[in-house]
Structure formats: structure tokens, C-alpha cells
Amino acid sequence: MLAQDRSPQLTRWRPDLMRSVRLLREFRYEQPDPDRFYSAIARDSAAQLASYVDLDGRLMLDVGGGPGYFRDAFEALGAIYLALDADAGELAGLGRGVPPGHPSGHLGGRTVIGSGTALPFADSSLDVTYSSNVLEHVAAPWAMADEMLRVTRPGGTVLLSYTTWYGPWGGHETSPWHFLGGRRARRRYAAKHGHEPKNKYGESLFAVTVRDGLAWAERQDSAEVVELFPRYNPSWSWWLLRVPVLRELVTWNLVVVLRKR
């Protein structure tokens, strides 16, 4: 099912244990130092994508957009970067935690407001489509994945990753209570904090599992599956994806890499 086709000169990203530990440490800074956190995640994400495709001069779409750090990281590798987001308010701030005066604090002319499940782009019009931590916030996640394939040209690359429901961060700020049910975790959070969580189960957060992602990759017929792996895990542990149930618990985030036929 998996196909390896990465040019050695492009493979700079190394999913080893040191990287996993480093990224886990960075998660501690999401609230107190978002500049540090988002910069580190964006650099790692860009290097990860660049290990599958040379981004120099490639027209890419980041579905979900997010903080401007991602724009900076992908453009540093030569990508012609487009972002799509459904929330104009979020785009105006370029994501939570971007400090005032940061060079990413502007939209530029290549940001589009639209729906991930009905991308406002023509068929086969983009070299690369990318999405990070958006799929679990979409009520019809695999419709969005199908749309990403539709707008990618033949020979182009699709990389999507998402937070898996039964992983340790599946409930986002309501974790780990999501293991007892998303709605119960949401009610508990509201009772404890006096307000709803930012990610509301059933409205802006949905249970998307590892099994769901593997099944979609298997049934879609528009692209070759290049690789499937847990985003933050060292490569020597990737075999765990072959173990039902266990893979749901140890996969914090699933990455699906495809090449359009």
C-alpha cells in the first residue's frame, strides 16, 4: 500500500527520537510563548512537506491557513503560498497568539475565505495542497480531503494531517475527559471554567479516528498513497499503525501523503 519515492536531496527532515522530544517540549510554550511554539511547529511542518516535494516555485494551498508562521516557513523554501480559511475573524489575527508587530501579522494578497469542503479553485490547478490540524474541525472531513485531491494537478502532492480522537489530545482543551465522551467532556469544561471550550464537540470539533484516515486513503482512487505515519512519533515506532486499537491510542496526529495520478 505504501510507496517510497522521495529524492535524497530533498529529504532533510528526520523523524527521530530527538525531534519527537524537542517538539513535545515546544508544546509547553503554546500559551506562554506562542511565537516560539508556532515558529517551531511551522519550521518542522515545512521541512516535513519538503521531504516529499521540492517546494521551490510550487503553487501550494494551505487549507486552514492558520498563524502566519506557516506562510513564513513555506515561503522560505520557495513555495508560492496560498491560504484558505473559513473564519475571517481568525484570519484577521492570523491565528491565536501572534504577537503585534510580528512580520506575519498581515494577510497579504493570497488569502482566500472559503469552505474546505467546496474549495474555490479549479480542478487540477495546484501543485501542492496541504492541511494541518483542520480535518478534525470539519463536520464532513473526507469531503474536504476529496476536495484537496480534486484541486491538485496530476503528479502533484497532497499532505494532510489531523489530531486523532483517541490520542491524548483528541479532545483538545477538554482532554483527557474526551475519553469518556465528547459531549460529557464539553459539559465538564463549561462547568469548571464558566464558559464553553473554544473547540466545541459536535460543532467545531469532531471525532476523527486513525481508522477513518486509513480507510479513506484506501478507498480514494485518485492518488497513490506515498506514506502514512504518526506525525510526532519517531520513525521506528511507525509500525504501530498496523496494530488496531493500539494505533488509536499512540497516534497523536496522523499524516497522509498522496501523489495525484
Query: Residue 91's pLDDT band (boundaries 50, 70, 90)?
Result: very low
Give yes or no for residue 33 having a pLDDT over 90: no
Give yes or no for residue 255 having a pLDDT over 50: yes
| pLDDT at residue 93, rounded to an integer | 35
- Average pLDDT on 94-113 reads 49
Angle at 47 between CA 118 and CA 6, to 5 degrees: 85
| pLDDT at residue 145, rounded to an integer | 98
DSSP-assigned beta bridge partners for residue 163: 253
Give yes or no for residue 1 having a pLDDT over 50: no
Q: Kindly state whether residue 199 falls inside one of the protein's structural domains.
A: no
Q: Kindly state whether residue 46 falls inside one of the protein's structural domains.
A: yes
Q: Kindly state whether residue 111 falls inside one of the protein's structural domains.
A: yes
Of residues 234 and 107, the one with the higher pLDDT is: 234
Q: Kindly state whether residue 176 falls inside one of the protein's structural domains.
A: no
Query: Residue 32's pLDDT band (boundaries 50, 70, 90)?
Result: confident
Is the separation of the CB atoms in 144 and 118 below 8 Å?
no
| Alpha carbons 181 and 249: distance in angstroms, whole number | 15
Q: Kindly state whether residue 175 falls inside one of the protein's structural domains.
A: no
- Give me the CATH number covering residue 46: 3.40.50.150
Cell numbers placing 134: 483542520
- Average pLDDT on 46-51 reads 96
Q: Kindly state whether residue 1 falls inside one of the protein's structural domains.
A: no
pLDDT in tens, 131-163: 999 999 999 999 999 999 999 999 999 999 999
Q: Kindly state whether residue 185 falls inside one of the protein's structural domains.
A: no
Query: What element of type H or E holds 81?
Result: strand 80-85
Give yes or no for residue 66 having a pLDDT over 90: no
| pLDDT at residue 109, rounded to an integer | 59
Q: Which of 234, 233, 222 is nearest to 258 (CA)?
A: 222
Query: Residue 9's pLDDT band (boundaries 50, 70, 90)?
Result: very low
| pLDDT at residue 88, rounded to an integer | 46
- Average pLDDT on 55-62 reads 97
| pLDDT at residue 12, rounded to an integer | 67
- Average pLDDT on 66-81 reads 90
Q: Which of 56-60, 84-88, 126-130 has the lowest average pLDDT?
A: 84-88
* Torsion 70-129-28-73 (CA) sign: negative
Number of domains in the chain: 1
| Alpha carbons 1 and 143: distance in angstroms, whole number | 22
130-142 in b/e form (b: 16+ CB < 10 A) is: bbbbbbbbbeebb
Q: Which of 103-107, 121-125, 216-220, 248-252 has the lowest average pLDDT?
A: 103-107
| pLDDT at residue 216, rounded to an integer | 98
Q: Kindly state whether residue 180 falls inside one of the protein's structural domains.
A: no
- Range(s) of the domain holding residue 153: 8-164+208-260
Query: Residue 129's pLDDT band (boundaries 50, 70, 90)?
Result: very high
- One-letter amino acid for residue 7 of the chain: S
| Alpha carbons 193 and 152: distance in angstroms, whole number | 43
Cell numbers placing 79: 513555495
| Alpha carbons 128 and 162: distance in angstroms, whole number | 17
